[in-house]
Structure 1
Amino acid sequence: MNNCYPLISVITPSFRQAQFLHKTMDSVFGQDYPSVEYIVIDGGSNDGSREIIAVNADRLAHWVSEPDRGQVDAINKGLERASGEILCYLNSDDLLHPGALRAVANAYAKYPDADVFHGRCSTIDENGAPLDRGFFGDIATPSKILDLWSVWFAGKNVVQPEVFWTRRLMDRIGLFDETFNYAMDYDYWTRAIVGAGAKVCRIDQDLAAFRLWGGQKSNASDKAADELRRIAIRYIDDPAAPLDPDTRRRLKAAWTFDEVFAKGCAQIAAEEGSSLSRRMRVAAMAMRNPILFSNEAFRGRMAGAIRRLVGLGNPKPSANA
Structure 2
Amino acid sequence: MKVSIVTVCYNSEKYIRYAIESVLSQDYPNIEYIIIDGGSKDNTLAIINEYADRISVIVSEPDKGIYDAMNKGLKLATGEVVAALNSDDMYSNNQIISMVVNLFETTGCNIVYGDLQFVKADDISKIVRTWVTKPFVPGSFKRGWHPPHPTFFVRNAVYKQYGYFNIRYTLAADFELMLRFLEKYQVSSSYLNYPMVLMRTGGASGVASSFIKRNTEVIQSFKINELKISILYPFFRFLPKLFNIIRNKIPKKKQ
Query: Smaller-chain TM-score range?
Result: 0.7 to 0.9
SS in 2 for 1:146: helix
Distance 1:234 1:254 in 2: 19
Question: Per-residue displacement from partner, 1:206-254 (whole Å, max 9, x unpaired)?
Answer: 21111113xx21122222111112212445xx4xx5xxxxxx6xx4231
RMSD of the TM alignment (CA)? 2.3
The 5 A counterparts of 1:128-277 are 128-132=124-128, 134-138=130-134, 140-148=136-144, 151=145, 157-213=146-202, 216-219=203-206, 220-235=210-225, 238=226, 251-255=229-233
Q: What's 1:78 paired with? A: 73
Q: Which runs of 5+ in 2 are unaligned?
A: 243-255
Note if contact 2:3-2:80 (Cα within 8 Å) is conserved in structure 1: yes
Note if contact 2:86-2:150 (Cα within 8 Å) is conserved in structure 1: yes
2:98 to 102, 107, 130: 102
Distance 1:318 1:186 in 2: 15
CA drift of 1:197 comes to 1.9
Distance 1:222 1:8 in 2: 35
Distance 1:34 1:228 in 2: 37
Note if contact 2:114-2:192 (Cα within 8 Å) is conserved in structure 1: yes
Note if contact 2:11-2:42 (Cα within 8 Å) is conserved in structure 1: yes
* 2:119 paired with 1:124: yes
Which protein is richer in strand relative to its size? Answer: 2
Note if contact 1:121-1:158 (Cα within 8 Å) is conserved in structure 2: no
Distance 1:218 1:96 in 2: 20
- Residues 199 and 57 from structure 1, CA distance in 2 versus in 1: closer, same or farther, beyond 3 angstroms? same
Q: Which runs of 5+ in 1 are unaligned?
A: 1-5, 152-156, 242-247, 259-296, 299-316
User: What amino acid is the match of 1:101?
Assistant: I
Q: What's 1:69 paired with? A: 64
Which has more radius of gyration?
Answer: 1
Which protein is richer in helix relative to its size? Answer: 1
TM-score, normalized by length of structure 1?
0.69
Distance 2:181 2:149 in 1: 14
Q: What's 2:10 paired with? A: 15
Question: Per-residue displacement from partner, 1:272-294 (whole Å, max 9, x unpaired)?
Answer: xxxxxxxxxxxxxxxxxxxxxxx
User: What amino acid is the match of 1:138?
Assistant: K
Q: With a CA cutoff of 8 Å and minimum separation of 6, indicate the structure with the bigger relative contact order.
A: 2
Distance 2:116 2:85 in 1: 12
Identity %: 25
